[in-house]
Amino acid sequence: MTAPLVTVRGISRTFGAGPTAVHALRDVSFDVEAGRMVALVGRSGSGKTTLLNVIGGLDRPDAGSVLIDGEDITGLDEDGLSQLRRDKVSYVFQTFGLIPVLSAAENVGAPLRLARTPAADREQRVRLLLDLVGLADHAEQRPGELSGGQQQRVAIARALAASPRLLIADEPTGQLDADTGRSVMALLRGVVESEGVTVLVSTHDPVMMALADRVVRIGDGRLEQ
Amino acid sequence: MIRLLPPVHWPSVRGRARADAGPLTLAALVVAAVTVLAGSVPVLLTSTADQAVRQAVRAAGGQAEIQVRADWEYDDGAHGGRVRNPRSAESLDDLRDRALDQLGALRDQMSPPIEFAGGPYLKIVNGDEPRSFRLGYVAGTSEPAVTWVSGAAPRASSEHPNAEVAYTGDPWPVQAGISETAAARLGVGPGDRLQTEDAKGNPCDVRVSGVFRPVNRTDLAWQVAPWLLDPQSGADGPGITRFGGLLDAQSLPDARLAFNPDEVSRTVRFRPDAEVLTLDSAQRIAAAVVRLKATSGSSASHEGAAQWSTQLDQVLRDVRERVDAARAQASVLLSAVMLVAVLILLLAAQLLAGRRAAALTVARQRGTSIVALGTELLLESVLLTVAATAVGALIAWAAAGGVAWGWLLPAGVCAVLAGPGFGMVTAHRATRDKRNPANRSARRWAERTAALRRLTAELAVLAAAAIALTVLHQRGASPSAGGTVLLPASAPALGALTGALLLLRLLPVTTGLALRQALRSTMPLAVFGASRAASAARRVLPVLALVASAALATFALTLSSTIGAGLADGAWRSVGADARIDLPDQPATTTTALINRIAAAPGVRHAVAAQVTTATSVIVGGASRQVRLIAVDSAAYRELLAGAARTPLPALPAAAPGGPVPVLVHSPEGTLRAGDSLDLRTEGAPEATLTAVATTDAIGDTDDTVLADAAALTAAGVPVVPNTIWVTGSGAAAAAKAAVGATVVARTDVLRERREAPLVAGLIRLAWASTVTLLALGLLGFALDAAAGAPERWQTLSRLRTLGLRTREARRVAAGELLPLALVAALGGPALGVLLAVLTLGPLGLRLLTAQPGNPVLVLPWVGLVVVVAAFLVMVVAVVRVEAAVRRRNRLSEVLRVGGA
């Protein structure tokens, strides 16, 4: 058994206070081994996104700890979290989040620019990733000129650009039709194999769950497995 | 029953108003502010125009007088001689009564009439200095009171009141009183006979009956003949001092007999009562005076018929021109404020529609019709506009005592219609069935159609601006030039709009180039900032509003600074130096001693004496012209001008012996030119020929001016007695004020007086108010645009932060997005404003307010320009800081949860 890349221990997160408080996460603990694809499933409002946000450092838990590659990220300040996102964790969102005036290649190269990667290395890496996601021929097209599935592929390529240890995808197929969604999930499965990246993906599509190495169920803020 | 209006869902109306209270309040504030400015300015301008008329009439002095002249009745006697008429004073009263009848209702606008009878020019033959003497009779409601210091009031020269005198007899004696000053200067007393002769050299018999002191020197009656109280230098020609002899009802009949029948004038003088004048009443008086002048000319030859003459119509025409110029300039400023206000209201309405897009879409999806939504939005905007206008009108009324509604129309209509218009379009677009065409050619066709539509609109604005500019240059923006004032007055505003459209075209190109350059660089923040800027560069209204506001604020500033500099130049031209001393009639040695004393005073750079004679008659090309003749040491005067950094004075060549005297000329209307030959005729001196060797802008103000070297003029036989000393330097005014008995005019005093003149002060205040309003509107527009783009901006920045962008780096990227708009406003706006000032200030007639011979030189308000530039750049920093502070409270996860592509 490989060492866990992500270790979640006793995470709780509550929004609001008093009688209207919403307990999004209650004492959640689990591990994710490196190089695995884990599907996080549950109904809407079950706490999937909150859990992904806490693991990715976009939100802070009220209690508990999250260790990524052995580092407790709950104690990091804003700069520390930014560095974490630059080096180890990347995201794919339901709504793609591409920069509209930049081409697909420039969008993919954005994290490499932040990492000050030399231009030649950056261009080589972008070409490789666009080839990986099957968009080598669309490198110069802008997001507005691409279909939804293509845009999500660009977003995945961008998320992989800085060679993260962990890729968090929050319902990446939510805005795609079933066929396109499946192809995107297959792509994610493929990058786990090819890039050795650990993927944590939230979904409620049973077909997509089948592609994951492990399925973690969550309901009412608690793990159900 | 047919429903005329769609149903209104009041809870929705209230809910929307509550949710968007901030933007609605801002829009209301804009409407209220514009109402205050545009509602009060025309009213204030009217009252200022009335004040200007009063001040102009006061300042015009004798020029504003209306003179009614009539010949005396025939005095031929039965025995071939002339008969003394003891009722001559009553004859003047009769002329006064007839003139009052002819004035009719206008007499209420006049001060009490003054009767005047004056004798001809007489030369005092004893003494070395050139002196003249005139007899004068003055009376208001009665003769002005005097105290006889010695001797007594004049008496009749004959015991027979109706004595008949032969035409060819000895000079008829006439008694006159003289003032204390004149008596001292002439060295005469009661009973003395003055050594005088008329212009033909015939001796006259004028005897001093007594020496008087006026009881009230300010009595209006004295104003028509001030020389009766004090000797007047230059009144009868250069270097000649006029003395006066006071007649009364007893001696006036003798004065008539002492000279030819047409040599003693019989006049009544009216002066408009400045306290009750208004621009309208002044125009009525001017029209009546012109009519009386025209109708009296033909009957003047009849015995006793009244002949009207005055320069009041010219005075009123001049002030009317100044009022028109001020109105034109005010219209230009109001047009500018109105254009920017309309653009800001449109921007606010667009922001509001953007905020309400979701709610309006839901309302449509629930079945609310577009018309019903429009009605609800219209109700809201009408209520808001009426309330804001009422508040603004109340403030305007309190400040100006009235409200002008005409200028409020554009902003009012825009405030009412923009919100509903944008709201309906937003709701319609969100729910319409029309989709973007799938095939490329159809999309291209749609794009070309949209581009053509935009180009047409831009060309329409360009054409309007070109027409407005042409009309402005052809006939100015003066209301009296006929036609509408609005079109030429809106030339700068339309020019600003055209320039903004051009910059709008250039902005995407520039940001695209910047993005391309950033992509080649290794700076990630530059790429993200430039990419955001490129996304934001296509928004139309923000660019138009901000560029127009910055350009027109700069234009208003430039107008203000140019007027300020023009006033300073005009004050210099009027005074001729930092201080001017108008000398009393005094010996040349006293003047020389005074100059030496002043020149040695601390802070004095130069002191130069000159003889300045206004209204000197010269013959040019066979026509007589009135010029201002300056006789000065030209080398010393050249040094004075050079020391004060004024326009250099050209050198005057030495006069050839017996040849014409070389002179410099300045003629605003171009009536005097280099090469002209001028014949100067002075009483008691040989005729001198002057030749204009050059024209120069270094001398003179609004009058034709001739400058000759004093030594050359003296050599030509023209007497030169300095009556003016020009002093420059920081201590000039103080040193000049030490001159006892002289009148001192300080340049700073003249400048202050002109700056505080009603029209000028009002216009400068309006220019400043417009500048502040325009700049405030521009900054408000920037804030509105930033608020409109904030959700998308911070959504993108949050995405970038998930890639590892730090918080402070996100702020820089946000600044990068906002910077192009700020830069185009901060740099393009002022440049455009200066260009507009260059193109349009000329026809606005600024010289009429600055009292310069030509339009003032454009002066750039550097400090103001820096403020305009800095204001927009500071605004970028402020907006980013405020936004960052607001967004800091939102967690990254919450921002991303909202979604968006």
DSSP state of B717: T
Domain annotation covers residue A70 = no
For position B492, what pLDDT does the model report?
A: 95
Q: CA of A190 to nearest chain B CA: how many angstroms apart? A: 22
Q: Do A111 and B891 touch (CB under 8 A)?
A: no
Sign of CA dihedral B352, B353, B355, B361: positive
Most confident segment among A39-43, B491-495, B597-601: B491-495
> With an 8 Å Cβ cutoff, is B799 touching chain A?
yes
* B527 and B657 together in one domain: no
pLDDT at B666 over 70: yes
Please report the ipTM that was assigned to this predicted complex. 0.90
Q: CA of B363 to nearest chain A CA: how many angstroms apart? A: 25
* B213 and B253 together in one domain: yes
Q: Chain B residue with minimal CA distance to A164? A: B803
Looking only at the bridges linking them, the beta strands covering B203-214 and B174-179 are parallel
Looking only at the bridges linking them, the beta strands covering B705-709 and B623-632 are parallel
For position A163, what pLDDT does the model report?
A: 86
- Over the stretch A155-169, which tens digit does the pLDDT of each residue have? 988 988 888 999 998
Domain annotation covers residue A24 = no
Given B250, B270, B290, the domain boundary residue is B270
Q: How far is CA B753 from CA B79, B571, B746, B756, B760, in A?
A: 62, 9, 11, 5, 10
Half-sphere exposure at residue A169, Cβ-oriented, CA atoms within 13 angstroms: 34
Give the total residue count for chain B.
Answer: 901
> With an 8 Å Cβ cutoff, is A7 touching chain B?
no
Domain annotation covers residue A137 = yes
Tokens found for residue B876 = 């970028």
Looking only at the bridges linking them, the beta strands covering A214-219 and A222-223 are antiparallel
| Residue B841, phi then psi, degrees to nearest 5 | -70, -30
> With an 8 Å Cβ cutoff, is A110 touching chain B?
yes
Q: CA of A45 to nearest chain B CA: how many angstroms apart? A: 12
Tokens found for residue B278 = 């208004």
How does residue B535 score in pLDDT terms, banded at 50, 70 and 90? confident
Rounded Cα distance between B288 and A49, Å, is 90
Most confident segment among B14-23, B573-582, B862-871: B862-871
Domain annotation covers residue B82 = no
* B225 and B124 together in one domain: yes
Q: What's the domain range around A48?
A: 35-58+86-223
**In B440-528, at which residue ranges do the beta strands (DSSP E only) sit?**
none
Half-sphere exposure at residue A160, Cβ-oriented, CA atoms within 13 angstroms: 29
Rounded Cα distance between B847 and A121, Å, is 68
Rounded Cα distance between B271 and B56, Å, is 12
Sign of CA dihedral A199, A205, A211, A214: positive
> With an 8 Å Cβ cutoff, is B805 touching chain A?
yes
pLDDT average, residue stretch B267-291: 85
Q: CA of B898 to nearest chain A CA: how many angstroms apart? A: 10
Domain annotation covers residue B214 = yes
pLDDT average, residue stretch B583-590: 72
Rounded Cα distance between B321 and A21, Å, is 75
* B643 and B737 together in one domain: yes
Q: CA of A17 to nearest chain B CA: how many angstroms apart? A: 17
* B541 and B648 together in one domain: no
**What is the secondary structure of B828-882 as a DSSP string?**
IHHHHHHHHHHHHTGGGTTHHHHT-SSPPPP---HHHHHHHHHHHHHHHHHHHHH
Domain annotation covers residue B261 = yes
For position A2, what pLDDT does the model report?
A: 64
Q: What percentage of chain A has pLDDT greater than the value 90?
A: 32
Name chain B contacts of A82, Cβ cutoff 8 Å: 801, 804-807
Tokens found for residue B228 = 């009766």
Select from B330, B856, B762 the least CA-distant residue to B562: B856
Domain annotation covers residue B42 = yes
Count Cβ atoms below 10 Å from residue B701 Cβ, excluding itself.
19
* B673 and B760 together in one domain: no
For position B73, what pLDDT does the model report?
A: 85
pLDDT average, residue stretch A54-58: 89
What is the number of domains present in chain A?
Answer: 1
Tokens found for residue B647 = 């326009």
Angle between helices A104-114 and A148-161 in degrees, nearest 10: 20
Name chain B contacts of A115, Cβ cutoff 8 Å: 804
* B412 and B300 together in one domain: yes
For position B483, what pLDDT does the model report?
A: 57
Contact in structure between B844 and B858 (CB atoms under 8 Å) = no
Domain annotation covers residue A7 = no
pLDDT at B237 over 60: yes
Angle between helices B88-103 and B279-299 in degrees, nearest 10: 120
Q: Which helix (H) or strand (E) holds B529?
A: helix B524-536
- Over the stretch B126-136, which tens digit does the pLDDT of each residue have? 877 788 999 99
**Using CB atoms within 10 A of its CB, is residue B838 exposed (0-12), middle (13-18) or buried (19+)?**
exposed
Given B368, B401, B434, the domain boundary residue is B434
Domain annotation covers residue A205 = yes
Strand partners, B175: B207
**What is the secondary structure of B720-779 as a DSSP string?**
----EEEEESTTHHHHHHTSTTSEEEEHHHHHHHHHTSHHHHHHHHHHHHHHHHHHHHHH
> With an 8 Å Cβ cutoff, is A113 touching chain B?
yes
Domain annotation covers residue B783 = yes
- Over the stretch B550-574, which tens digit does the pLDDT of each residue have? 999 999 999 999 999 999 999 998 8
**Using CB atoms within 10 A of its CB, is residue B506 exposed (0-12), middle (13-18) or buried (19+)?**
middle
Tokens found for residue A136 = 């080598």
Q: What percentage of chain B has pLDDT greater than the value 70?
A: 94
Higher local confidence (pLDDT), B894 or A27 = A27
Q: CA of A206 to nearest chain B CA: how many angstroms apart? A: 23
Mean pLDDT of chain B: 87
pLDDT at B303 over 60: no
The closest CB to that of A96, out of B807, B891, B901, belongs to B901
Helix (H, G, I), strand (E, B) or coil at B299: helix
> With an 8 Å Cβ cutoff, is B901 touching chain A?
yes
Q: What is the CATH number of the domain that holds A52?
A: 3.40.50.300
Tokens found for residue B566 = 């023009």
- Over the stretch A112-126, which tens digit does the pLDDT of each residue have? 998 889 999 999 999
* B805 and B664 together in one domain: no
Contact in structure between B200 and B263 (CB atoms under 8 Å) = no
Q: CA of A128 to nearest chain B CA: how many angstroms apart? A: 19
Q: Do B527 and A113 touch (CB under 8 A)?
A: yes
Q: What's the domain range around B547?
A: 490-574+748-901
Write the secondary structure of B475-496 as one string of H (helix), E (strand) and C (coil). HCCCHHHCCCCHHHHCHHHHHH
What is the number of domains present in chain B?
Answer: 5
Rounded Cα distance between B416 and B395, Å, is 21
Which amino acid, residue B204? C
**What is the secondary structure of chain A as a DSSP string?**
-PPEEEEEEEEEEEES-GGG-EEEEEEEEEEEETT-EEEEE--TTSSHHHHHHHHHTSS--SEEEEEETTEEGGG--HHHHHHHHHHTEEEE-TT----TTS-HHHHHHHHHHHTT--HHHHHHHHHHHHHHTT-GGGTT--GGGS-HHHHHHHHHHHHHHT--SEEEEESTTTTS-HHHHHHHHHHHHHHHHHH--EEEEE---HHHHTTSSEEEEEETTEE--
Q: Which helix (H) or strand (E) holds B631?
A: strand B623-632
Buried b (16+ CB within 10 A) or exposed e, B88-100: bbebbebbbebbb
- Over the stretch A168-192, which tens digit does the pLDDT of each residue have? 988 888 777 778 788 888 888 888 8
pLDDT at B436 over 70: no
Count Cβ atoms below 10 Å from residue B245 Cβ, excluding itself.
29
Name chain B contacts of A101, Cβ cutoff 8 Å: 515, 531, 534-535
For position B896, what pLDDT does the model report?
A: 57
* B417 and B292 together in one domain: yes
Count Cβ atoms below 10 Å from residue A50 Cβ, excluding itself.
25
For position B900, what pLDDT does the model report?
A: 39
Q: Which helix (H) or strand (E) holds B196?
A: strand B193-198
Tokens found for residue A156 = 């995945």
| Residue A106, phi then psi, degrees to nearest 5 | -70, -35
The closest CB to that of B801, out of A82, A100, A106, belongs to A82
Strand partners, B110: B272
* B495 and B465 together in one domain: no
Domain annotation covers residue B125 = yes
Contact in structure between B46 and B327 (CB atoms under 8 Å) = no
Q: Chain A residue with minimal CA distance to B795? A: A97
For position B300, what pLDDT does the model report?
A: 46
Strand partners, B122: B133, B198
Contact in structure between B544 and B847 (CB atoms under 8 Å) = no
* B726 and B764 together in one domain: no
Residues of A numbered 154-173 whose beta carbons fall under 8 angstroms of chain B's beta carbons: which are they?
Answer: 158, 162
> With an 8 Å Cβ cutoff, is A30 touching chain B?
no
Half-sphere exposure at residue A83, Cβ-oriented, CA atoms within 13 angstroms: 7
pLDDT at B584 over 80: no
Name chain A contacts of B535, Cβ cutoff 8 Å: 100-101
* B417 and B323 together in one domain: yes
Q: How far is CA B148 from CA B215, B258, B687, in A?
A: 10, 24, 42
For position B890, what pLDDT does the model report?
A: 66
The closest CB to that of B805, out of A95, A114, A158, belongs to A114
- Over the stretch B829-860, which tens digit does the pLDDT of each residue have? 999 999 999 999 988 888 888 888 788 889 99
Domain annotation covers residue A17 = no
Domain annotation covers residue B810 = yes
For position B337, what pLDDT does the model report?
A: 95
For position B785, what pLDDT does the model report?
A: 92
Q: How far is CA B671 from CA B111, B331, B625, B631, in A?
A: 37, 33, 9, 20
Q: Do B801 and A102 touch (CB under 8 A)?
A: no
Domain annotation covers residue B343 = yes
For position B898, what pLDDT does the model report?
A: 46
For position B126, what pLDDT does the model report?
A: 80
pLDDT average, residue stretch B198-216: 91
Domain annotation covers residue A23 = no
